[in-house]
Amino acid sequence: AAAAEAEVRLLLQEARESIAAARSYRLELQQRLRGLHQAREQIKESATLTRDVLEQHFSDLKGTLKKLLDERLMSLLQEVDVIEQESIKPLDECQKLIEHGVSTADDLLREGESAVDGDVGTQNEKLCNFTKKALHIQLDSLPEVPSLVDVPCLSAQLDDCLLTILKNQIFRHGTVASRPPVQLEEFVEKPGGILVRWCKVDDDFIPQDYRLQYRKSTASHFEDVYVGSETEFIVLHIDPNVDYQFRVCARRDGRQEWSPWSVPQIGRTTLVPHEWTTGLEGYSLSSRRNIALRNDSQSCGVLYSKAPTYFCGQTLTFRQVLFGIETVGQPDRRDSLGVCVEQRNGYDSLQRDKAVCISTNGAVFVNGKEMTNQLPAVTSGSTVTFDMEVVQLGPCSNEGGNFKLRVTISSNNREVVFDWVLDQCCGSLYFGCSFSYPGWKVLVF
């Protein structure tokens, strides 16, 4: 009985495992069916959109061609009118001259016949008057009438090869691509932003520029966010936990038209944006509080982040929206850009313990001590980045020397790498900056 009961339990266990496997198999098949449905819908929707684009384009093309042909016809007809009018005008003037001569000759004939047939008493006087009048008219002077070979004979020269050229061009005009030459490859979450990467999937396509667009999933229109030759771009001002749609296209070298758009994909970030803390008299902040401007106030101090939002494994970047640090004031050795374990009021620089920073002259400070390695000076257009990873020496405790971070600071294509030893575990860090003179404007993300 015990053996039978054990066998039943074993069979029940196997049955349960088979049921679980069947459920998992069914779920996987259902997901694949949804994937097939999405693929089919994408093909149908893209085919419908492509048909609409082709029909609209060729309709516009036919309208434009008709307009151009009508304009050319009108131009040629006007040219015929001008030649006709200019050519007939001298003929009309000659005709008037001849008609006047015919009328004069008729009058002279009547007068001559009257003089010849008149009375003998008055005949002598009439004949004298007639003879004088005939001599005055110059009957031997006749107007020149052009021969037919000397007057214009209008005709139209129409080159039939235009139809051949148009036919060849039309038959080569437009293509239908089964897939775009560029596709989105990766989305990397950033605080208040998304790093978008894309790649070329058509080996025969040689891109010159890329064009990236995005929109909120609830919006109806995409907007340009980047045009250039790079294959990645950080899109800022992204609301956390909100879906955004992205798409990318490319332009061939030497061409003006853009390729078809990539398949739109969803990206989002769960990381809240970095923000400077408000209320420090020496700094003015942007509306999103991610840009700080050192103003003309005589007050000085360290401007810290609103919260410890920098986590190890991320990249912290200081730069202006487009070109790095937008403007630079007069540099000072006490200037600093960096990260720290805690906020400390009363200091005018991050060059202190429990902080790492770079000065505007390129000097690197760790816990208030200057390193021998130095980076390029921070100038207009500079971008400074901090990367950190945890190197654990031993069990995390409050005892000194048990927690170490490997820090990489990069500026102007150069970097320094060092280990930062702390006396406590730090899951997140504050960032901060300090400038002694006005004119510095820094974006953090």
Establish if 201 belongs to a structural domain.
Answer: yes
Q: For the chain, how many structural domains are there in total?
A: 3
Whether residue 67 sits in one domain with residue 111:
yes
Domain that holds residue 329: 283-444
Residues 154 and 189 both lie in one domain: no
Domain identity same for 137 and 213:
no
Q: Do 223 and 354 lie in a common domain?
A: no
Question: Does the residue 277 lie in any domain?
Answer: no
Has residue 384 been placed in a domain?
yes
Residue 278, in any domain of the structure: no
**Which of these three, 172, 205, 237, is where a domain ends?**
172
Residue 424 within any structural domain of the chain: yes
Domain assignment of residue 276, yes or no:
no
In this structure, the answer to whether residues 229 and 314 fall within a common structural domain is: no
- Compute the distance between CA of residue 32 and CA of residue 282 in angstroms, rounded to an integer: 59
Q: Are residues 344 and 223 in the same domain?
A: no
Residues 375, 294 share a domain? yes
Q: Going residue by residue through the chain (445 aa), what tens digit of pLDDT does each one get?
A: 788 888 888 889 989 999 999 999 999 999 999 999 988 998 898 899 889 989 999 999 999 999 999 999 999 999 999 999 998 998 888 888 888 888 888 887 887 777 777 665 666 777 777 777 777 776 667 778 888 888 888 898 888 888 888 888 888 888 887 889 999 999 999 988 999 999 999 888 889 999 999 999 888 899 999 999 999 999 988 999 999 999 999 998 878 889 989 989 999 999 889 999 998 989 999 998 999 998 988 888 899 999 999 988 888 888 753 333 445 678 889 999 999 999 998 899 999 999 999 999 999 999 999 999 899 988 877 889 999 998 875 555 444 456 889 999 999 889 999 999 888 888 789 999 999 988 888 989 8
Residue 254 lies in a domain: yes
Q: Both 240 and 299 in a single domain?
A: no
Q: Which of 121, 148, 172 is the last residue of a domain?
A: 172
Identity of residue 222: F
Whether 177 is in a domain gets the answer no
Note whether 216 and 145 are same-domain residues. Answer: no
Q: Report pTM.
A: 0.63
**3-state class (DSSP) for residue 276:** strand
3-state secondary structure the chain: CHHHHHHHHHHHHHHHHHHHHHHHHHHHHHHHHHHHHHHHHHHHHHHHHHHHHHHHHHHHHHHHHHHHHHHHHHHHHHHHHHHHHHHHHHHHHHHHHHHHHHHHHHHHHHHHHHHHCCCHHHHHHHHHHHHHHHHHHCCCCCCCCCCHHHCCCCCCCCCCHHHHHHHHHHHHCCCCCCCCCEEEEEEEEECCEEEEEEEECCCCCCEEEEEEEEEECCCCCCEEEEEECCCEEEEECCCCCCCEEEEEEEEECCCCCECCCCCCEEECCCCCCCCECCCCCCEEECCCCCEEEECCCCCCCCEEECCCCEECCCEEEEECCCCCCCCCCCCCCCCEEEEECCCCCCCCCCCCCCEEEECCCCEEEECCEEEEEECCCCCCCCCEEEEEEEEECCCCCCCCCCEEEEEEEEECCEEEEEEEEECCCCCEEEEEEECCCCCCEEEEC
**Domain boundary residue among 172, 191, 217?**
172
Residues 138, 204: one domain? no
Cα separation, 274 vs 337, in Å, equals: 14
Assess contact for 205 and 252: CB atoms under 8 A.
yes
Q: What is the CATH number of the domain that holds 230?
A: 2.60.40.10
Q: What is the pLDDT at residue 218? A: 85
Are 159 and 305 members of one domain? no
Q: Are residues 199 and 319 in the same domain?
A: no
Please identify which residue in the block is written with the tokens 């250039």. 228
